[in-house]
Structure 1
């Protein structure tokens, strides 16, 4: 598949054919963005191209899209820190999927005259994927499926019951609350903890508030992470916390990799501190081919699929087109504000 790589910044005046501003849609890994929104609606006013491969360095980004006035990015697949934004003098509009993106330096964008806008994002898909991981771990789904497909032994695993067990939800925001409700429907006792947990709200959801993170870890059979990554949550679950968990417990992380110490998690899996772990998020994405998590025992990993559904993508790219139209009309919409701190993930 051939894709345009763009022109290095400084090679021309930044305008496409007919004087149209150039737009690049980054990290369209599956080559589907162009089919999920009405891009022809702006085709006579904007020259748009779609990039399908990761851009691994600042130099690669500048080379690929340094000629663009508009960029559409997918969550945190390509970070835009100050050092990169300072090298993109033509950039004027940066659109991210969702209304929160920790990989964008909003202050640097403002300093460089770049308007940053977002889109709506549904919280149901990541909540649903969380349960795919929990159920996959509890019932040995990947092990049994692999054996069935290859003619291996019939029945290898003894499933872990969820009914009557405790689900520990770390962060009771939009996603965590939806995960908690499903846990209750399975007949689980649901507990929660976060640095700013609203105890009244938790009680209203039928959730038991824990007094501390330690209590949540020590008493839960499944711990699922739904916190925003920030100064207070980075590395929140390390060796000491993993050792507090039950040896029969599962840890699932569909939030951000930085909340769980990856080296400690590897030790926990290899040494059996916990029964298993599932993750949809990694420190480096795409996950390197030689990353030890790929072959860790009792680990169920997915390639950051939490938000990757048709409904979400149609919303992301459809609203990206709307944002571009609003920008061209001089009335930007869905602008991102500077973050106010960490809490439960929305």
Structure 2
């Protein structure tokens, strides 16, 4: 009997075809939105491939008696019940490192434009307002301090790209051993509050967890330098969205770019609606044409290795 793979969200077509050459594949990018059909498809599935929207939990997997692997097209695992999967001996396979370059470009690129302050000037220029005097005080990124909250594979790639344009890198990551070679390229902060005080740009690269929920709250936003900016490509719920809105409206924070939200899609009329100096994107920091190819190819390879006969 051919091993069977169910893919519930979008995946690079070349990687899908690679899997189809060897396995029976059900590929439906909208399957995540059809729970009854998804549950039925999983009844005789050996592997499941998802992105961040599919909630891989006991309720979903109860009828998936043959399942041996879950591939994650990305790195965040907060939508996957890892403890339950472990209890069933189901391997959970994230695409570690495959989208790090895309996230790094997003973070450094947005840090640059937020510090310059011209990101939202198009409408004024088109209307003939010509806000040149106000925008002439924008700041260069070279010589600034980037604070990375989380210094794993993605945070390290962000730091590497930032250093190439003259940025000094601080990082907070109590899980990364002090002897790790990555610390040669960044100053280690033992306390996260010290990082918030020192950085011109704070970028978040930690998973969502009970410990990290509300990590960036009103108090920590208040520690940031006048003129500092915040970038969140990690997970929603790590930043208190209402507190962020207040900091931006008051001018205490110069700007922010947010790619992830406590509720996705971000509902209309949220605390972040109409907030000045705020750039919002729909959870795409790690998703580019190239990164989708890399992530998909990596997960296809790893899942195939698990499913092939020993």
- Give the TM-score band, short-chain normalised: 0.7 to 0.9
Deviation at 1:45, TM superposition (A): 4.3
What does the per-residue CA deviation read over 1:200-245, in whole Å, with 9 as the maximum and x for residues that have no partner? 656621x333342222212222111122333433322211111111
Deviation at 1:147, TM superposition (A): 4.2
Unaligned segments of structure 2, at least 5 residues: none
Unaligned segments of structure 1, at least 5 residues: 1-18, 332-346
Tell me the equivalent position of 1:314.
Answer: 293
**Equivalents in 1 of 2:24, 2:296: separation in Å?**
15
**Equivalents in 2 of 1:43, 1:208: separation in Å?**
48
Deviation at 1:170, TM superposition (A): 1.9
**Equivalents in 1 of 2:169, 2:22: separation in Å?**
53
Comparing 188-197 with 289-298, which one deviates more in the overlay? 188-197
The one of 139, 153, 163 aligned to 2:129: 153
Residues 99-248 of structure 1: pairs in structure 2 closer than 5 A: 101-112=77-88, 114-122=90-98, 123-148=100-125, 150-155=126-131, 157=135, 158-196=137-175, 201=181, 204-205=184-185, 207-248=186-227
Deviation at 1:111, TM superposition (A): 3.9
Q: Are 1:97 and 2:77 matched, yes or no? A: no
Tell me the equivalent position of 2:250.
Answer: 271
- Answer yes or no: is the 8 Å Cα contact 1:294–1:301 preserved in 2: no
**Equivalents in 2 of 1:305, 1:88: separation in Å?**
30
Regions of 4+ moved over 6 Å? none
- Answer yes or no: is the 8 Å Cα contact 1:62–1:88 preserved in 2: no
The one of 11, 21, 24 aligned to 2:6: 24
Deviation at 1:146, TM superposition (A): 4.3
Deviation at 1:278, TM superposition (A): 1.1
Deviation at 1:255, TM superposition (A): 1.5
**Equivalents in 1 of 2:177, 2:68: separation in Å?**
39
Deviation at 1:134, TM superposition (A): 0.8
**C-alpha RMSD of matched pairs (Å):** 3.0
TM-score of the pair, normalised by structure 2: 0.82
- Answer yes or no: is the 8 Å Cα contact 1:169–1:176 preserved in 2: yes
SS of equivalent to 2:121: helix
The one of 23, 26, 35 aligned to 1:48: 26
SS of equivalent to 2:237: helix
Deviation at 1:46, TM superposition (A): 0.9
**Equivalents in 1 of 2:18, 2:101: separation in Å?**
30
- Answer yes or no: is the 8 Å Cα contact 1:81–1:104 preserved in 2: yes
What does the per-residue CA deviation read over 1:146-172, in whole Å, with 9 as the maximum and x for residues that have no partner? 445x44433453412323332222222
**Equivalents in 2 of 1:146, 1:133: separation in Å?**
19
